[in-house]
Structure 1
Amino acid sequence: MDSENRQRYQTAMVSTYYPETSFLDYIVMPDGTEQSPGSDILTQLHSGKVFIVNSRRRNGLILFKRYHAEFAGPGAAVGGDYDRDCQNLLPIGNLQLLTPDSYDERQKAYLIRRQWIRLIKQITENPLPQQRVQKILDQFEQYFPPETVDKLPDIAFALLVGVLPQTVGIVRRLGSDEYTRFN
């Protein structure tokens, strides 16, 4: 009888591996709407031109790469050869991309992009996933209003700090202290 149950269980399993499909073909927002990568901004990034996220606004971009995401905040360079592998993106706030006027302005924007990457790297160095999630949520709430952060999907934060989207959802609902107590 055990072998019958085991066999029935094995045949009922469904594979979720799709080698030719990326889960970033679309992003489901918390309100249930889908955002597809067919945006004009993504086309601009793939053109090879370099842009700068306007440093005078509370805005930014989450850039989804194949296995992770990067955040480019105010003042950061985006595009060029650096972001040709971007599969999707998520604008945050009132996004405005500017064209650098000079070589120096472009170099400064690249340095700012590195600073944003270093900030996320510091967060990901924490060995506890729930603390990484709490820290990235705290950081985003420093730059953006809480209602803006609440609208961002769990997968965005998960790919930024290397955790499962379910972990982000639990921490958002319970907080990192409650998550630790239950796990």
Structure 2
Amino acid sequence: MDSEKRRRYQTAMLSTYYPDTSFLDHLVMHDGTEQSQGSDILTLLHTGKVFIVNSRKRNGLILFKRYHAEFAGPGAAVGGDYDCDCHRALPIGNVSNQFLLTPESNEERQKAYLIRRQWIRLIKQITENPVPQQRVQKILDQFEQYFLPEIVADLPDVAFALLVGVLPQTVGTVRRFGNELDGRFNS
């Protein structure tokens, strides 16, 4: 399949699942509120500067790219050339004025990149599971270990779906039925 046919196929498949492919334009939380702090953060990320997610607070950032999402937890580097393709940013946890910090040295920047890589590896390990429902359960478990359950419950299904490569409907099903699905999908 040549690249042009593949691109048309991917677009057709995406529009089958998401008829309105601008579904991230109005990211609505489970409690019905629309996410707004992310636009300020996105503006900062698009300046080309490198920032660090504050490691002294329980927070993180879900970065929405074209076909997937990435999680940058405390201490992780964000911005620069690495996140210039970011379309949306969803801050999680203790969002304050000091959510993103500027690295003060090359060593601090290097350490932040290593931490970002660790977060990427964690998500990669989760996505290697071939069973979609297990991937969802694992990412939910990881987030609930780190963030308050109320915070995780408020995050939209599409955020988790794009993190682990499943449909938002799969996330919704796992959230509704949780452990009841374990017997059906554990191998």
2:148 is the counterpart of 1:152: no
Q: Which runs of 5+ in 2 are unaligned?
A: 1-15
Code of the residue aligned with 2:145 in structure 1: it is Q
Identify the residue that residue 23 of structure 1 maps to in structure 2.
23
Identify the residue that residue 70 of structure 1 maps to in structure 2.
70
Larger CA Rg, structure 1 vs 2: 1
Cα offset, 1:94, TM superposition: 1.2
Q: Which one of 137, 141, 149 corresponds to residue 134 of structure 1? A: 137
Cα offset, 1:35, TM superposition: 2.6
- Report if aligned partners of 1:130, 1:176 keep a CA contact under 8 Å in 2: no
1:165–1:82 CA distance, 2 compared to 1 (3 A) = same
Tell me the TM-score normalized by structure 1.
0.85
Task: Say which is worse superposed, 25-34 or 126-135, in terms of deviation.
Answer: 25-34
2:106 is the counterpart of 1:103: yes
- Report if aligned partners of 2:42, 2:89 keep a CA contact under 8 Å in 1: yes
RMSD: 1.9
Q: Percent identity?
A: 80
Cα offset, 1:93, TM superposition: 0.7
Q: Secondary structure at the match of 1:115?
A: helix
Identify the residue that residue 3 of structure 1 maps to in structure 2.
none
Q: Which runs of 5+ in 1 are unaligned?
A: 1-14
Identify the residue that residue 33 of structure 1 maps to in structure 2.
33
Task: Encode CA deviations 1:47-82: one digit per residue, 9 max, x unaligned.
Answer: 001000011110000000010000000000000000
Code of the residue aligned with 1:86 in structure 2: it is C
Structure 2 distance, partners of 1:137, 1:91, is 16
Structure 2 distance, partners of 1:17, 1:170, is 20
Identify the residue that residue 53 of structure 2 maps to in structure 1.
53
Task: Say which is worse superposed, 138-147 or 26-35, in terms of deviation.
Answer: 26-35
- Report if aligned partners of 1:26, 1:37 keep a CA contact under 8 Å in 2: no
Dislocated runs of 4+, deviation >3 Å: 15-18, 179-182
- Report if aligned partners of 2:38, 2:90 keep a CA contact under 8 Å in 1: no
Task: Say which is worse superposed, 123-132 or 27-36, in terms of deviation.
Answer: 27-36
Structure 1 distance, partners of 2:64, 2:117, is 16
Code of the residue aligned with 2:108 in structure 1: it is E
Structure 2 distance, partners of 1:98, 1:113, is 14
Task: Encode CA deviations 1:120-173: one digit per residue, 9 max, x unaligned.
Answer: 000000000000000000000111010110010000000000000010011011
Cα offset, 1:34, TM superposition: 2.4
Q: Secondary structure at the match of 1:81?
A: helix
Structure 2 distance, partners of 1:30, 1:139, is 19
Code of the residue aligned with 1:164 in structure 2: it is L
Code of the residue aligned with 2:81 in structure 1: it is D
